[in-house]
Amino acid sequence: FSQPPTSASPSRWRLMPPVQASSSVLAAVFCLLRHKPVIESFWQKSALALVSVLLKMCPGRVITKLLSSGEKEVDLAVQSAKAAFKIWSQMSGMERSRVLLEAARIIREQREEIATLETINNGKSIFEARVDIDISWQCLEYYAGLAGSLAGEHIQLPGGSFGYTRREPLGVCAGIGAWNYPFQVACWKAAPALACGNAMVFKPSPFTPLTVVRLAEIFTEAGVPKGLFNVVQGGAATGQFLCHHPDVAKISFTGSVPTGIKIMGMAAKGIKPVTLELGGKSPLIIFSDCALENAVNGALMANFLTQGEVCCNGTRVFVERKILDVFTKEVVKRTQKIKIGDPLLEDTRMGALINRPHLDRVQGFIKQAKEQGAEVLCGGDVYVPDDPKLKNGYYMQPCVLGNCTDDMTCVKEEIFGPVMSILPFDTEEEVVERANNTKFGLAGGVFTRDIQKAHRVVAALKAGMCFINNYNISPVELPFGGYKASGFGRENGRAAMEYYSQLKTVCVEMGDVESVF
Ligand SMILES: NC(=O)C1=CN([C@@H]2O[C@H](COP(=O)(O)OP(=O)(O)OC[C@H]3O[C@@H](n4cnc5c(N)ncnc54)[C@H](O)[C@@H]3O)[C@@H](O)[C@H]2O)C=CC1
Ligand SMILES: C[N+](C)(C)CCCC(=O)O
C-alpha cells in the first residue's frame, strides 16, 4: 500500500490461534517491525497491539486490530498498482524473472520466520506452515522460469503477408484469498500474475491478515516497482470495492461457493475475467488391491492437513467392501495418534481451527451426522490441551465417521474441518457413479495397484485435480482447479499463464490493399 489509510472504516478483529508467547513468536513480530513498512503509522500501531497482547499469552483472544480499507484506500491501492504496472509490463520476461527469483530467495532465506508468523496467523502446525512456505517460494521460482517464455506465434499468410500473436498482461488484477493457506494462496495468485507482467492488489481474509503484508514487503525488497503488489485489508465490503473498481482487469478468488457466485456477478458487471477456486467434497477411492499402508497414509493426507480446512480434501473415502474392516481399523488407529496442540511445537501435527464459529459449525456437522445414523469411530469432540495456556483454543479431535451413506449431510456438504466419512462400495462402475454424484468437482483420488483401472477411474471422475496413489501433494508445476461448482480457471502449472494474460493478434499486409470498393 503506498498511502496510509485515511478513513477509519469499522475495524476488524480476529481471534488468536493458540500460541505460546515464545521467543520465536516475538521474533516474528519484531521481524515485522524490522522491515520498515510503507504504511508506517498504521502498521506500527497494529504490530504494537499485537506485541502487547502476545505478551499476555492469551489463546483464543484478539492478537491485533487492523483497519479495514475503505473505498478510498482500495482506490489508492489500485492507482499505485496501475502506476507500477506501466513500468513492470514494459520490462522483458527475463528482467521480471530475475526479480521474482530474488523474491523466492528471500522467502527461502526467511522460511522459519514466515512459517512462524503463518502459524500465528492461521493456527496450523509449524510443521505444515514450513511446507506452505516452501511451496510458495517454489511457485515464484517456477513462474520466474516461465516469465521469459511468454510468447506468441507467427502465422504465414498468402503473398508473404503474415500474422503474429502477442501474449499481453491484463493490467491490475485483484486477488482475494481465503484463510486456510494465506501466504501460499497469495503466492499462487501473485507469481503467475506478476510473471505475465500484471500488477496485483491482494485482499487476504480478515481472519488471517498478517503474512500477506510480509509478502508485499518481500516483493518490494526484491525490486518490483513500488505498488506492484499491494495489500488491502478487510472483509466483504473491501472485496466488493476491489471487484467493482473500474481499473481492476481481472479477479482471482479463493473461498466459498456463495461468495464465488457474488464475485462472478460483480465481474460480469465489468466484463472482467475471473478465476474461481471454490470448495469441494472430493472422493477418494480405495480399491482392495491397493498398497494398504499407502492408502491409509493417503486418506490421512486427504483429510487432516490444516485441521481439515482444505478445499480439495478427499472427505468421501470410498473403500472396497473386501478391505473395509482392515482399512477402517488402521485409519482409526492412525487418526487417534495425531498429536494435537500448540501449533508452534515441533511434534504437533494438528493445530487449532480458524475461529470459534467455525469450530461450532464443524461440531454441528458431527452432531447431525450422528443423528442421521453415522457412527463416530474416533474423535469429533472439542479438544482441551493439558497446557492451561491453551485451554481456550479452538482445537478438536480429528474424526472418522463410519456407517455413512451417500444421502447424509456429512457426505454431501463441505465441512472444512477434520472429519472423514467412510463409505463402502462393491464395484468400479458403482463407485465412479457415486463419486461423481456431487455438485462439486475439485479433486479426486484413487488407490490401486492396477494401472489400467487407475487411469480408467480418474478419466471418469468429473474433477479438475486427480491423484493416483497419493493425495494432496502440491507440485507447483501441475495445474490446480475445479470442475462444476468448484470453480474454473487454473492456478499453478503453465495453464495459469493463460489466465493472467490476453492474446493480441496482429495481421500484417505485405502487398497492396485490394479494396472491395
Ligand atoms: N476453496 C478453498 O480453498 C476455500 C474454501 N472455503 C470455504 O468457504 C467457507 C467459509 O470461509 P470464508 O473465508 O468465510 O470464505 P468466504 O468465501 O466468505 O471468504 C473468502 C474471501 O472472500 C472475501 N469476501 C467475502 N465476501 C465477499 C464479497 N461479497 N465480495 C468480495 N469478497 C468477499 C473474504 O473476506 C475472504 O477474503 C469455508 O467453510 C469453506 O467451505 C474457505 C476457505 C478456502
Ligand atoms: C496445498 N493443498 C493442495 C493441500 C491445498 C491447496 C488448496 C487450498 O487452498 O485449500
Computed from CA positions of residues 219, 220, 222, 223, in that sequence, does the dihedral angle turn out positive or negative? positive
Is the C-beta atom of 422 inside 6 A of ligand 2? Answer: no
Residue nearest to atom 31 of ligand 1 (CA): 239
CB burial readout 448-481, b (16+ within 10 A) else e: beeeebbeebbeebbbbbbbbbebbebebeebbb
Cα(313) to centroid of ligand 2, in Å?
8
The answer, yes or no, to whether any atom of ligand 2 lies below 6 A from the CB of 205, is no
Predicted ipTM of the assembly? 0.93
Nearest ligand 2 atom to alpha carbon 309: 10
Ligand 1, atom 42, lies closest to the CA of 255
State pLDDT tens for residues 404-429. Answer: 999 999 999 999 999 999 999 999 99
Per-residue pLDDT band for 60 (boundaries 50, 70, 90) equals confident
DSSP letter string, 234-270: -SHHHHHHHHH-TTEEEEEEES-HHHHHHHHHHHHHT
Residue 290 pLDDT > 60: yes
**Cα(164) to centroid of ligand 1, in Å?**
40
d(CA 258, CA 401): 27
pLDDT of residue 394: 96
Residue pLDDT, tens place only, 465-509:
999 999 999 999 999 999 999 999 999 999 999 999 999 999 999
Three cell numbers at 408?
A: 447424509
CB-count burial class (<10 Å; 0-12, 13-18, 19+) for 235: middle
| Mean pLDDT, residues 127-154 taken together | 97
Instruction: Please confirm, yes or no, whether 168 is among the known catalytic residues.
Output: no
Please report the DSSP string for 29-87 in residue order: HHHHHHS--SSHHHHHHHHHHHHHHHHT--TTSEEEEEEEP-HHHHHHHHHHHHHHHHH
Bridge partner residues of 421 (DSSP): 316, 401
* Torsion of Cα atoms, 84 then 85 then 86 then 89, to 10°: 130
| Side chain identity at residue 157, one-letter code | L
User: In the numeric block, which cell numbers belong to residue 76?
Assistant: 489508492
Beta-carbon contacts of residue 103 (< 8 Å; ≥ 6 apart): 140, 218, 219, 221, 222, 224
Q: Which atom of ligand 1 sits closest to the CA of residue 207? A: 13
Q: Work out the mean pLDDT of the chain and round it to a whole number.
A: 91
Q: What is the pLDDT of residue 145?
A: 98
Position 458 pLDDT exceeds 50? yes
Which pLDDT value is given to residue 59?
63
Rounded CA separation 54/206 (Å): 19
State whether the beta carbon of 179 lies less than 6 angstroms from ligand 1.
yes
The C-alpha cell at 405 is 451413506
Q: Is the CB of 181 under 6 A from ligand 1?
A: no
- Which position among 128, 217, 277, 428 bears the catalytic label? 277
Percent of the chain with pLDDT over 90: 86
pLDDT for the residue 484? 98
Task: Tell which atom from ligand 2 comes closest to the C-alpha of 254.
Answer: 9
| pTM for the structure as a whole | 0.90
CB 395 within 8 A of CB 384: yes
**Does position 347 have pLDDT exceeding 80, yes or no?**
yes
- Predicted confidence band of residue 64 (pLDDT cuts 50, 70, 90): confident
Rounded to 5 degrees, φ, ψ at 350 are -140, 120
